[in-house]
Amino acid sequence: MTRRGLRLSLLGSVLLLLSSAAMAAPRHANDAGLNWSAGGAHGSVPWNIVVLLTLLTLLPALLLAMTPFVRLLVIFHFLRQALGTQTTPSNQTLVGLSLILTYFLMQPVGSAVYQDALRPLEKGSVDVLEAVDRGSVPLRGFMLRFAREKDLALFLDLARQPRPAHASDLSMRIVLPAYILSELKAGFQIGAVLFLPFLVIDMVVAAITTSIGMLQLPPVVISTPLKILLFVMVDGWNLVVGSLMKSFG
């Protein structure tokens, strides 16, 4: 991907992360700062449609690449498997919950992007590429907080780039893949920890049913209600979501 293409992709993430703040901002039909066409007002509408459709196409990849969505979704799927409830909650429910929590976590970053990049762009004081550079700073800072040094070093070696003096000097080409790997590792670690207590229940129930000769009744039939009851009694959703939110603090 060329440098200009990467900047435009970053601009897409900036705009998408800040959708709520941007919706609250004033709109002007003849705003010169948002004129994407060099041909005047008559050519701006088709170009805006093209850019909008492109951003909608890139939305899933941008959401996965620059937000905690991956970690949250992986953990919730591990939790569902540990409970043994198969399709409850449904995939749509887990995705929706992950999206809401992602918005909650990324809203401060989106506000910073709006203040630093989108407002100057709307006023016409900066061009699109400069707005991308400004907007990428809060995003890079957020991802660097959770990207492991080991993963950053891996992609620096693969790109054959020298190690900078400061982490803030790393390019998005290095930060993005390192951040995704770090989030996957964190998601699997937390998911494994959540799995352990439910695994103990499965083992205890299986040992008891085998010892008393209940071979015709699968242990999972007995252990699943017990796991759900335990999860409800300890207010599991509150504990899991609260711990996840604090892990990003």
Q: How close are the terminal C-alpha atoms of the chain, in Å?
A: 33
How many CB atoms neighbour CB 28 within 10 A? Answer: 9
Buried (b) or exposed (e) across 199-222, using 16+ Cβ within 10 A? eebbeebeeebeeeeeeeeebeeb
Report the C-alpha gap between 159 and 40 in whole angstroms: 41
pLDDT at 15: 47
Residue with tokens 């000769």: 213
Angstrom distance (rounded) from CA 92 to CA 239: 21
Q: Distances from the Cα of 127 to the Cαs of 3, 123, 137, in angstroms?
A: 16, 10, 16
The pLDDT of residue 44:
62
Query: pLDDT truncated to tens, each residue of the chain (249 aa)?
Result: 444 444 444 445 544 454 444 444 444 433 434 444 444 444 466 777 877 787 778 777 777 778 899 899 999 999 998 888 888 888 899 999 998 999 899 888 888 888 877 887 777 777 777 777 787 788 888 888 888 989 998 998 898 888 888 877 788 888 888 999 999 999 999 999 988 888 888 888 888 888 887 777 777 788 888 899 988 998 889 999 998 898 887
| CA max distance for the chain | 83
> What is the pLDDT, as a whole number, of residue 162?
85
Task: Return the percent helix, strand and coil in the chain, to nearest 5.
Answer: 80, 0, 20
CA–CA dist 67, 99 (Å, integer):
10
